[in-house]
Amino acid sequence: MRYWLVKSEPDVFNFADQMALGPHGAEWHGIRNYQARNNMRLMAVGDLAFFYHSNIGKEIVGICEVVGTSHPDSTTDDPRWDCADIRGIRPMPVPVTLQMCKTDPRLSGMVLVNNTRLSVQPVAPDEWAVICQMGGLRE
DNA sequence: GCCAACGTTGGC
DNA sequence: GCCAACGTTGGC
C-alpha cells in the first residue's frame, strides 16, 4: 500500500470534477513525463493519493483512491504513455497549502516541496499522516 | 508575465 | 554520448 500525490490545474480539471466522475473514477491521462508515468505504473488498487491544485490554489484539496492499475493512455496512440485509474474519495476539510508544506519541517523532504515539476509523485507514510492531520482528517 | 528548474530533442 | 537549443511546468 503506497501513498501518492497527483497534480491538476483546477481550471482544467479540479477535485469537484474528479468527484463528479463517481465511484468508478477515470484514467489519469495526459501524463507525458517518464518519471510521472513510472510512478503510475507502480500504483496498486487501494493506494491513496492526494489531489493537488497547481497554479491556482496551490493546495491539497482532496483524497483519491487508485481503482485500476496501469494501462495504455486512451488519449494517445503513443505506446510510451500509460495511466492508472483514480476515483475521488473525500475533500480535505481544510485544504493544505504548498506554503504550509514548505513551512513544516516534518515535510521538508516532500517531493512536492523539492521537485515542483513532477506531477505524479510518491508521498511517504509519515508525510501522509502529517498532511491528513493538517487537513483536519484523522487517519 | 517572468523565469528557474527540469526534460526532451537532435546535430555532431 | 555529449551538449546546445528548445519546450514545459509551475511558483511567484
- Through-space separation of residue A126 CA and nucleotide C5 C1' in angstroms: 41
Q: Is the CB of A32 under 7 A from strand C?
A: yes
**Distance between CA atoms of A4 and A110, rounded to whole angstroms?**
11
Nearest to A61 by CA among A28, A18, A20: A18
Does the pTM surpass 0.85? The reply is yes
* Nucleotide with C1' nearest the A98 CA: C11
3-class state of residue A115 by DSSP: coil
Chain C bases near protein CB atoms (7 A cut-off): 8-12
Give residues lining strand B (CB < 7 Å).
A 33-35, 114-118
Phi, psi of A51 (to 5 degrees): -105, 115
Nucleotide nearest A33, CA–C1', reads B7
Evaluate if the CB of A58 falls below 7 Å from strand C. yes
A68 and A108 in contact (C-beta within 8 Å)?
A: no
User: What are A98-128's pLDDT values in tens digits?
Assistant: 999 999 999 999 999 999 999 999 999 999 9
**Shortest-distance nucleotide from A116 CA to C1':** C10
pLDDT of residue A76: 85
Cα A68 to chain centroid distance, Å, stands at 14
Q: Which three cell numbers stand for residue A35?
A: 518519471
What value does the mean pLDDT of chain A take? 94
Residue with the three cell numbers 512536492: A112
Please report, in angstroms and rounded to a whole number, the separation of the first and last CA atoms in chain A.
14
Residue whose C-alpha cell reads 501522509 in the numeric block: A128
Whether the predicted pLDDT of A139 surpasses 80: no
Cell of A110: 516532500
Protein A100 CA to nucleic acid B3 C1', in Å? 23
Using the predicted structure, report yes or no on whether residue A16 has a pLDDT greater than 80: yes
Task: Determine what percent of chain A is predicted with pLDDT higher than 90.
Answer: 94
Measure Cα distances from A125 to A1, A38, A110, A129, A130 in Å. Answer: 10, 19, 11, 6, 9
